Amino acid sequence: MLFDLLERLSSLTRVWFREHPLLTDLQPIQLSALMYLGRCNRYSDTPLAVTEYLGLTKGTVSQSLKALESKGLLIKRPDARDKRSVHLMLTPPAQALLDAVTPPDFLVAAAGRMGADAVVLEGLLLELLRNIQQGEDVPGFGLCRTCRFHQTVAGGAFCGLTQESLEPREIELICREHQTPDPA
């Protein structure tokens, strides 16, 4: 039953995106890559991270990223420390597109009708995701603020893994290095 419900919700979302007039030029994988890049942090905006997050082959992702770049939705920027590595940045048109289509209107409306139950459901789905990630040993890709490495130092956010200060907005972004805190 749970699988059937999740599959149906996924199908509805795919149909909504496929029929959205602003998305007619994008393949589903391209939209998925844009959505990921719109929500990930500076440690997670590389082609490899996109590949791991989407669970697809390097070649498939590489071709999709090239297509997004040719459409003017993505810019590749060399890493300041490691010139072999690149970071992927959304262009202003890409960000405007994501702002216009996410979250899907039908989902926002349904959550509004559910009221407080929507918050409970969100918490349960997060718990389900974390349980699957831990039980199946799949990459975490969680929000920075929920990571075991997230710290507050001198009143500001700090990553204990990279030993770097974080901007306030970064703690709400997806990180590929995310690890669930140990239970207290």
CA atoms within 13 A on the CB side of 67: 15
pLDDT digits (tens, 9 = 90+) for 128-180: 988 888 888 777 788 999 899 999 998 899 999 999 999 999 999 999 999 88
Amino acid, single-letter form, for residue 78: P
Question: Which CATH fold would you assign to the domain 2-101?
Answer: Arc Repressor Mutant, subunit A (1.10.10)
Domain extents in the chain: 2-101, 115-175
Give me the helix-helix angle, 92-101 and 28-39, nearest 10°.
100
Look up the pTM and report it: 0.90
pLDDT digits (tens, 9 = 90+) for 3-62: 999 999 999 999 999 999 999 999 999 999 999 999 999 999 999 999 999 999 999 999
Distances (CA, A) of 76 to 45, 70, 161: 10, 11, 25
Q: Which two tokens stand for residue 1?
A: 């039953």
